[in-house]
Structure 1
Amino acid sequence: MSTLAPEPVPTAAPHPLDPLTVDELAVVVRVLRSDSRVTEDARFWGVALDEHHARVAGPQDTRRARAVVLCPSVRRAYEVDVELGEKPQSTAWRGLDVRSPGCSSEEARQAAAVCRADPRFREALALRGIHDVSLVMVDPESIGGFEPPEYAGRRLTWGSVWHRTSEDDNGYARPVQGVVPLIDMESMEVLYVEDHGVVPLSEESGVFAAGTVPERAGLRPLEVVQPDGPSFAVTGRRIDWQGWSLRVGFSHREGLVLHDLTFDAAGKGPRQVIRRAAVNEMYVPYFDTASTQYRKNFFDWGEYGAGPLTNSLALGCDCLGVIQYFDAAVLGGDGVPRLIPNAICLHEEDDGILWKHHDGRTGRTEVRRSRRLIISAFATVANYDYGFYWSLYQDGSVMLEIKMTGILSATGVAEDEETPYARRVAPNVAVTNHQHHFAVRLDMAVDGPSNRLVEVTAEHEPDPALDPYGNAARTVLRPIRTESEGARRTDPSRALHWRVENTEARNRMGEPTAYRLHVENTAVLPVREDSVCARRAPFVGRQLWATAYDSARRFVAGEYPNQAEPGADGVHKWQEENRSLDGTDLVLWATVGSHHFPRPEEWPVMPVAKARLRLEPDGFFDRNPALDVPAPVSCHTPSPTAPDHCCG
């Protein structure tokens, strides 16, 4: 049974870091449309809260936002600063390359419509026996690195094409191989249509809706019951739970954002851990030479935006237990704000054993069960669905778990065709090897803003005189003092991980207070260095980057990766400044990676695959901070061999 938590305690005024509301988004659009530079056919690519201003502004200062507006008829685009409040106004206009803004869902639908209306596109479909174009799906895909030279300077996309046999069909199960329209996204015209030859369409159904196959028997209800309600408290968008305090944010580019994570152990007062945490970018490259595959390399956040792609979650389906939802406001490409109800889920879960010891001499057992608080959201990027689960634990640990599901992006193949770079999952259907890279931005604040990064490895004792038995191993600490050293690789063979230390605070052993970072899932690009995907996303070549905080450097791949010159901006360029990382406002950019070898068991819908990143206190506390977690309540009748509580 899942139920809604009590309504959050309201606040008198919004917190400076609260996400923009539907009303505020509407105000921004009104301000922009009232300016003569904005044309009637204007389109929009997101409005974001100016978070840096929100943190440094005084209590009387108004909120600020940053908007991106495109004016196709005059081939101009702008990034605009807008001041909200009693007298909303724009305060700065910066011209953009017209190709830079990402693609909105509204533009994607428009581009698909112009393809379906194009005679050349219809002719290519007719050669494949497709005459009802209303059942044809076209996903406009980013073209970065593959722009035809004859269309230099134009805002382009190419279309991947799919066919449904009915309105309820799973179109992604029937790729239309070989048909590739190229679309000008400003004029919304099809420039040309590539046709690489007819490949038979799959005739196998890919429908997986309830009732499609006979249901498995014997599954009985499993209820999550919290009769006294949840252990968390929500005030506005602030959450308090088991010593943790944080704020829930949301942005157009990143979707779910966490602000100001602090931990209070045993009521000694809150201590800072992380100032800001979010999945900052997602890069998905495909590794195939097929005509409908070789161009696939996407910055899903920088070219589309996680915010507008965020799902509304359903009670009892996406989360179980006593649930608190947070709504989110987003701006469509047409300039119409909308609310995503239940965009973010907050709930608790049992997480097994927290700590335990059985005393064989006395027969007594002490055990505590772990509970975790989860803040989650789901985003759907065309065929794929991604869940982002931030978990807080009673021992002060933090984990991000990314869940990958949805439908694989397939290619059509002939019966006798070899598929060296893909795997067949159904008749006439294969799925290309590909990767998912998630760049996680962590603005660290371990016991305050004066932090440094230290790399930790296990290494054998090199001096035989000190190691007569050959089994001595040292913990080797290497401080990363400047940005030129801040591009790091993982190495499980040496138990490599990283510590974020406070340069001033010490624990009772005299060591710096710190948090430990593990990037549990990683992937390395298996491609040539001169390939488009390697040049477009240099950040995936390392599992961790460290930089000093800069309010102007918000995104790991650069502010506007869409059709940008490969490698022209991003964390790898910022490091050339070689700023100090010793006792600074430290930003970590961790790359969680997954190499996807497709499996037939992932078709026609993919069971969840997971990738994780984990932070845990490392000398931040003087001893186990979860000693005060209550013992489990009685679960059986006492007896001479069973003490009076279930774990005693």
Structure 2
Amino acid sequence: MDVSTSPEACCARDGGVQHQASGVAPGPHPLDQLSPSEVSRASACTRAHAAAAGVPGALRFNTIMLQEPPKRALLDYMNGRAPAPPRRALVWVLNPPHGTLFEGVVELPAGGGGPDRMLAWRALEGLQPTATPCDNVLAEQIILSDQRVMDLVRERYGITDPALIVFDPWTLHGTPAGFEGRRLMQGFLYVRESPTDNEYAHPLDLLPLVDLNLGKVVNIECYDKPARLPPTSVNYHVDHANATTGGGWRTDMRPINITQPEGPSFSIDGSLVRWQKWRLRVGFNAREGLVLHEVGWEEGGRVRPILHRASLVEMAVPYGDPNEPYIRKCAFDVGDYGMGFTANSLELGCDCVGHIKYFDGVVNNAKGEPLTIRNAVCLHEEDAGMLWKHTDTRLNHVEVRRNRRLVVSMVSTFANYDYAMYWNFYLDGTLSLEMKLTGILSTTYRPLEEAPGNVPFGIDVAPGVVATNHQHLFCVRLDPAVDCHEGGRDLVVTEINADRVPLGPANPHGNAFKVSETPLLSVHAAMREADPARTRSWKVKNPSVINPITGQPVGFKLLPTHSAPMLAQPESLVGKRAFFATKHLFVTPYEDGQLYPAGDHVVQSEDCLGLRLWTADDKPLRGADPVIWHSFGITHLPRLEDFPIMPVEVVGFTLKPWGFFKWNPTLDVPPTRNAASREEAGAARARAEAAPRPRL
């Protein structure tokens, strides 16, 4: 079957992760994600407009998501000066086999305020949109139904059952000569010995190239000589894990239960979350997944803004093997596949424990139908250890308070890797982002006759199986609003460094160090790298609001973690495309529509279509409503203990109030004693027996 004859082919996901849905919640907030009904309306309007415009071919919908209102219109609404901005859907759609990408903006009047209408429509020549789950399924169907691929698998490995072949879809990082202008996917192939076997222990040396618009395999790369299948099974699946470990399950793990007998401390009103003094709005879209809006702190009967918007806007995962065909192995997961499209349906008691509030996510399939991802975002609170403590030895008096945090999280799966995103909000006004990396190493084949250990760009994780060195480079976009109710034009971003004071009259004993603060007043001056040797951090402060104790502007400080920027050469393809990962900090003047640092459409791009363009001119930042782009990540040098399943690696950053409050804001946290806590019985008896007995 030529799959190209079915351009409307769409995906289904196992385990109830996605299902078709209908209905619309009354009175959505302007920042609420599109409802299932709005997705259907947007696709219907797009079909009608495309037909009237004479667009050839059948439509294949790529992305339908909320087009957020312009910031000024949103601020006018929030401050009561204007009605709610109109609801609008951003639509990206293709027309295979022609393969033109169209962008539409559909207005969706609420409450019968008029017909849905197409406000803008344009063809985007030479650009390729996100590879959606439907695209990945289509590519797999094409490859597994290709006779040449199946013949090669049979001839080289003796495998005749196509059900055992597993295809990992990857977008192309660099288009091979002769294939320019096509919508392509490359397929790394693996084989399973059984339906639940770990395929990454059995990589094949075949790399098919698929043209999605034509619906066929257009090229196959492989070694010249026949190959042998890597023979060792290394499994993590519940059906096989004991065979891998050579033993049974651990028997000494007793339950740890998290209970909140009086319920949680948060409250929910639609997408608005109230917890302690924090206020925030939870958003979701197909591209970024979880988005935070209107983050603020309630104090004295008013909400003090902190962040207007915050989200993970791009990733780059470049692999370090310079040999063909692996030079094309690099994922821009947010832009290539979409954090929202690939969001997991989280399970109570497994992904999330405690008293949970879930938010569903709404995306679309290739037919333009809405799909609801059940439990896409998890909200819960948890104990976070000690908040503060002091023992006054003179009075023999102890004061201690427990900390807790509100956690807003989601998990997305991109073929082999799983990325878990955790935004943490603490009682003292601190917030942080933790990215937890887990899943499975993406493995490649090498001939079994080669001696183990000589792998210059990775390691052996099994005979004939290599895991390549790579990086995970994340970029978040922070639109700060520190005590700003009218946008952030007064905000100033500064850099903080701590340095030794030279020996001399000012430092005769050599113990002094000083802290310097430098305003970053232009776009080029704000291209910065972290420097742990100087305790480097960056502060966002509001000169219009002065702290009465310090006499200095109120602010929040961005505390980076130690992470290397991109290690690939700046002249390399990934160096060009992932310009955002060449520095840890960029600051740009706010512009509506500037959301994605590698560009709106990064699939098969040859250069940065976002941040590099926005920073080409050295624009002034004073009075410019600054937007912060912070990149961070890890250089992943795989280890054997990362296989067959990888324990989480954690990376992220912290935003900490810095002169934002008058003294410690947690002085009103009451002392508590957890009545459910118990001392281990044997230790309690031993302590009682060892206690000195009073003399008679």
Aligned with residue 289 of structure 1, among 322, 327, 338: 322
Q: Residues 107-131 of structure 1: CA distance to partner in whole angstroms, max 9, x if unpaired? A: 2111121112222212221112222
Indicate the residue corresponding to 1:171 in structure 2. Answer: 199
Contact map agreement 2:196 2:237 (CA 8 A) in 1: no
Secondary structure (helix, strand or coil) at the match of 2:97 reads: helix
- Cα drift, residue 591 of structure 1: 0.7
Alpha-carbon spacing, 1:42–1:227, altered in 2? closer, same or farther (3 Å)? same
**Any conservation in 1 of the 2:138–2:212 contact (CA below 8 Å)?**
no
Correspondence for 2:164: 135
**Per the alignment, in what secondary structure is the counterpart of residue 73 of structure 1?**
coil
Q: How does 1:210-225 map to 2 (within 5 A)?
A: 210-212=238-240, 213=242, 214-225=248-259
CA distance in 1, matches of 2:87, 2:130: 25
Bigger Cα displacement from structure 2, 391-400 vs 111-120: 111-120
**Deviations 1:67-92 (Å, cap 9, x if unpaired)?**
10001133321111100023111111
- For structure 1, which segment, 193-202 or 270-279, has the greater mean C-alpha deviation from structure 2 after superposition? 193-202
Which residue number corresponds to residue 419 of structure 1? 455
Identify the residue that residue 407 of structure 1 maps to in structure 2.
440
The residue number in structure 1 matching 2:223 is: 196
Structure 2 CA distance for partners of 1:250 and 1:160, relative to 1, 3 Å: same
CA separation of 1:166 and 1:97: change in aligned 2, threshold 3 A = farther
| Alpha-carbon distance, 1:23 to partner | 0.9
Higher mean C-alpha displacement, 158-167 vs 498-507: 158-167
1:518 aligns with 2:559: yes
Q: TM-score, normalised by structure 1?
A: 0.93
For 2:99 and 2:239, locate their aligned partners in 1 and report how far apart those are by CA, in whole Å.
Answer: 50
Deviation at 1:94, TM superposition (A): 1.7
Distance 1:40 1:195, change over 3 A: same
1:183-582 equivalences in 2 (<5 Å): 183-197=210-224, 198-212=226-240, 213=242, 214-265=248-299, 267-415=300-448, 416-417=450-451, 418-448=454-484, 449=488, 450-462=490-502, 464-508=504-548, 509-567=550-608, 569-582=609-622
Match of 1:64 in 2: 88
Q: Is the 8 A contact 1:27 1:88 kept in 2?
A: yes
Structure 1: which 5+ runs fail to align?
A: 1-9, 638-648
Take 1:474 and 1:345, find their aligned partners in 2: how far apart are those partners?
43
Q: Cα distance, 1:403 vs. partner?
A: 0.6
Matched AA of 1:76: T
Q: d(CA) in 1 for partners of 2:457 and 2:227?
A: 17
1:158 aligns with 2:186: yes
Q: 1:47 corresponds to which residue?
A: 64
Any idea what SS the aligned residue of 1:124 has?
Answer: helix
Contact 1:182 1:193 in 2 (8 A): yes
Determine if contact 2:573/2:606 at 8 Å carries over to the other structure: no
- The alpha-carbon deviation at position 40 of structure 1 amounts to 5.3
C-alpha deviation, 1:319, in angstroms: 1.2
What RMSD in Å do the two structures reach over aligned CA positions? 1.9
Q: Does 1:607 align with 2:634?
A: no
Greater mean alpha carbon deviation, residues 180-189 or residues 363-372: 180-189
Q: Could you tell which deviates more after superposition, 37-46 or 319-328?
A: 37-46
For each residue in 1:35-85, what CA deviation from the matched residue of structure 2 results, as whole angstroms up to 9, or x when unmatched? 214555211221221213472664254301111000113332111110002
* 1:268 to partner: Cα distance: 4.8
State the Cα distance separating 1:527 from its structure 2 match. Answer: 2.8
Per-residue deviation at 1:533? Answer: 1.7
Distance 1:300 1:11 in 2: 31
Letter in 2 for 1:424: D
Judge which range, 490-499 or 54-63, deviates more: 54-63
Asked if structure 1 preserves the Cα contact closer than 8 Å seen for 2:378 and 2:408, the reply is yes
Contact 1:452–1:584 (8 Å) recurs in 2: no
Q: Answer whether contact 2:198 2:234 (CA < 8 A) is retained.
A: yes
Deviations 1:542-596 (A, max 9, x none): 01111111112111111111122223x2212211232222233221111121110
Distance in 1 (CA, whole Å) between partners of 2:291 and 2:318 is 25
Q: 2:565 touches 2:632 (CA, 8 Å); kept in 1?
A: no
The answer as to whether partners of 1:292 and 1:411 remain within 8 angstroms in 2 is no
Larger deviation, residues 50-59 vs 114-123: 50-59
Q: Which range is displaced more, 104-113 or 474-483? A: 104-113
- 1:176-197 CA-partner distances (Å, limit 9, x unpaired): 12x1111112111111211224
Amino acid of the structure 1 residue aligned with 2:569: R
Work out which of the residue numbers 207, 217, 239 in structure 2 matches 1:180.
207
Distance 1:521 1:399 in 2: 15
Q: 1:482–1:578: 8 Å Cα contact kept in structure 2? A: yes
Moved more, 28-37 or 596-605: 28-37
**Percent of aligned positions that are identical:** 38
Unaligned runs of 5+ in 2: 1-23, 243-247, 679-696
8 A Cα contact 1:281 1:300, kept in partner: yes
C-alpha contact 1:505 1:513 (8 A) present in aligned 2:
yes
Change (3 A) 1:612 1:521: farther
Amino acid corresponding to residue 153 of structure 2 in structure 1: L
Measured in 2, the distance between the counterparts of 1:501 and 1:621 equals: 13
Q: Does the aligned pair in 2 maintain the 1:99–1:156 contact within 8 Å?
A: no
CA distance in 2 between counterparts of 1:166 and 1:540 reads 40
Of 525-534 and 278-287, more deviation after overlay is shown by 525-534
SS in 2 for 1:114: helix
Distance 2:176 2:84 in 1: 51
Deviations 1:443-485 (A, max 9, x none): 1111112211100000223583322222221110010001121
Q: Deviations over 1:334-392 (max 9, x none)?
A: 32211011100000110100011111111111110000000000000011011000000
The amino acid that maps onto 2:211 is D
Residue 646 (structure 1) aligns with: none
| Partner SS state of residue 624, structure 1 | coil
Shift of 1:427: 2.0
CA contact (8 A) 2:547 2:659 kept: yes
CA distance in 1, matches of 2:67, 2:674: 51
Verify: 1:23 aligned to 2:64, yes or no: no
Match in the other structure for 2:141: 113
